[in-house]
Amino acid sequence: MDIADVSAPPDAARVSASFLARDARVVAPALLGKLLVRDEVVLRITEVEAYWWPDDTANHCRMGRTARNAPMWGPAGNAYVYLCYGLHAMLNVVTDAEGEGAAVLIRGCEPVAGLETVRARRRGLDGPALLNGPGKVGAALALDSTWSGHALFERSGLELREGVAPRAIVAGPRVGIDFAKPRDRRARLRFAIAGSRWVSQRATLTPWRAH
DNA sequence: ACAAGGATCCTCT
DNA sequence: GAGGATCCTTGTT
């Protein structure tokens, strides 16, 4: 089992709300390498997607405020968790200013600690299949929609902490948004750590550099 | 109150 | 590569 040497000290600083209170398209690549911590389980973020404000036709907030997407309009650093296809809990990190509906979907992670707990929550699976997909991340952290609105930047049951930034990043179009307008379908708003195997659908990803 | 469909995953061929 | 699982959210009546 290959786990990269990316372990961070257990008291690594939590990511600040101000870091997250920026455009989702800027925050998304900057989240790669950071850590999600729930009890003994520590996951390093390897793949994300940005859902930005205000003109993204793939964004859950495109139709305005609803009970489900309410956390997306709140302060940056809260979680937005929703149920997809009736069974998968999808974890997002809320970004942008309060009153703006935007977030970053966590699509993939690599295990840093708590591997046995993760495997138990994932039917004993192993390898990248354990964590390369947003529903798999939700399952590994044992999340459900009651976590929606949870503050990730406070000491609590689920925290976002500083980690080791990736050396290189790849990007490509977002997954599963065929309903969106062509411009938004094409937009390269999916980011991943270059070379990581803990990433879903790697074929459409190509080298990316910040602008 | 109802019908439709979804930012997916797994199994099987 | 195809299809089923599974249920909540949403928009419409």
Q: How do the pLDDT tens digits run along chain A, 211 residues long? A: 444 545 555 568 999 999 999 999 999 999 999 999 999 999 999 999 999 999 999 999 999 999 999 999 999 999 999 999 999 999 999 999 999 999 999 999 999 999 999 999 998 889 999 999 999 999 999 999 999 999 999 988 999 999 999 999 999 999 999 989 999 999 999 999 999 999 999 999 999 998 7
Residue A124's pLDDT is what? Answer: 82
Distance A99 CA to B3 C1' (A): 32
Residue A9's pLDDT is what? Answer: 53
Residue A210's pLDDT is what? Answer: 83
State which nucleotides on strand C lie below 7 Å from a protein beta carbon.
5-11
Residue A12's pLDDT is what? Answer: 80
Distance A184 CA to C12 C1' (A): 27
Please check whether strand B approaches the CB of A124 to within 7 Å: no
A154 CB contacts (<8 Å, ≥6 apart)?
A14
Residue A1's pLDDT is what? Answer: 41
List the structure tokens of A200. Answer: 């879903």
Assign residue A102 a region (left: φ > 0; alpha: ψ between -120 and 50; beta: otherwise).
beta
Distance A87 CA to C4 C1' (A): 13
Residue A7's pLDDT is what? Answer: 53
- Residue of A80, A79, A103 lying closest to A24 (CA atoms): A103
Q: Under a CB-based contact definition with an 8 Å cutoff, are residues A137 and A46 in contact?
A: no
Q: What angle do CA A95, A101, A103 make, to 5 degrees?
A: 40
Residue A123's pLDDT is what? Answer: 84
Please check whether strand B approaches the CB of A29 to within 7 Å: no
List the structure tokens of A81. Answer: 């968790």
Q: Which nucleotide is nearest to A70 (CA to C1')?
A: C9
Distance A184 CA to C3 C1' (A): 28
Residue A143's pLDDT is what? Answer: 96
pTM greater than 0.85 (yes/no): yes
Strand C neighbors by CB, 7 A: A 60, 63-64, 66-69, 82-83, 85-87, 145
Q: How far apart are CA A198 and CA A211, in angstroms?
A: 25
Residue A11's pLDDT is what? Answer: 66
State which nucleotides on strand B lie below 7 Å from a protein beta carbon.
5-11
Residue A2's pLDDT is what? Answer: 43
